[in-house]
Structure 1
């Protein structure tokens, strides 16, 4: 059984995690950019990007859980869902960048498309790193129940009536 100290020791520092993020996420991102370009020759680009984004997000989340952020195990359903949310935002960024490119250049070449796509992906990736490190794979969330410190009991003062109460008097109406 791992202790909290073992988990802290296993968690990589920010620079190490960022390096791993760039290698894992960047590798998946570069492969995805080529996959999007290839798939877009058969189906509309926006659909190709959506399909590749789903697959690459699942793969990248697993890589980040196992290697980037040092959890050592598979990503949980919650982590996949949260990662998908940040990937959806990244998807919007890449789509907007490509739509802007299409508006600015009538027939952009494949190299320019790749530069714009990868630049938008890098910007979105930096934001994703922050979200994944600080929220999705955050280590400071304790899994153990929080101990509640018991307060010193308060003693209520005892009030004594001068004369015993007449229960029948309470029922009479005035």
Structure 2
């Protein structure tokens, strides 16, 4: 898990990557729900949920590195940390949505709770996809860093200030819809 393999495959387009994201993330999420229920019969539920959440986030990050975003190998420690951060942010969004619901509606029904939770989860999932695609698994990050380091080391006059344009992973919402 320490380094990504140097061989990279072609990155899938945004729609293919999103479909893979939903398939991998949804599959791991479904398996996790059964695992939490099973483990929760032996351990306190909060502990079971925490353990399964950590394991499922590690597994999802590996799947996203290998299949969803075509990174060409195992996820790095940096990618795991960033993915965990985005998962924690998504968790916070769903918790805030449910707390807001509790503040606005005295006794919400099960259907309303599900609608709010699933809507918040979907919104957080789309945002998480964007973060993973544009930041965590963005292409040429290491190549851009190497270019700057090489330019700095090659200059006998001191530091060279370089601007590196990243064309393979543009920022912004339009980047999600553009084929890679």
- Specify the alignment match of 2:20 in structure 1: 20
- Separation (CA, whole Å) in 2 of partners of 1:96 and 1:37: 23
Aligned residue for 1:148?
A: 151
Corresponding residue of 1:100:
100
Where does the alignment leave 5 or more consecutive residues of structure 1 unmatched?
Answer: 154-174
- Indicate if the aligned counterparts of 1:18 and 1:129 stay in contact, CA closer than 8 A: yes
RMSD: 3.4
Correspondence 1:10 to 2:10: yes
Indicate the residue corresponding to 1:86 in structure 2.
Answer: 86
SS at the partner of 1:10?
Answer: coil
SS of the residue 2:142 aligns to: coil
TM, length-normalised to structure 2: 0.63
Unaligned runs of 5+ in 2: 1-5, 158-180
How far apart are the structure 2 equivalents of 1:117 and 1:34?
A: 19
| Alignment length (residue pairs) | 144
Deviations 1:62-104 (A, max 9, x none): 1101110112322111111010111111010111122233344
| RCO higher in structure (CA 8 A, sep ≥6) | 2
Structure 1 window deviating more from structure 2 (125-134 vs 11-20): it is: 11-20
| Cα-to-partner distance string for 1:149-171 (whole Å, 9 max, x where unaligned) | 978x9xxxxxxxxxxxxxxxxxx
Residue 131 of structure 1: aligned partner: 131
| Cα displacement (A) at 1:108 | 4.4
CA 37–96 in structure 1, closer or farther in 2 if over 3 Å, else same? farther
Counterparts in 2 of 1:92 and 1:84: CA distance versus 1, 3 Å: same
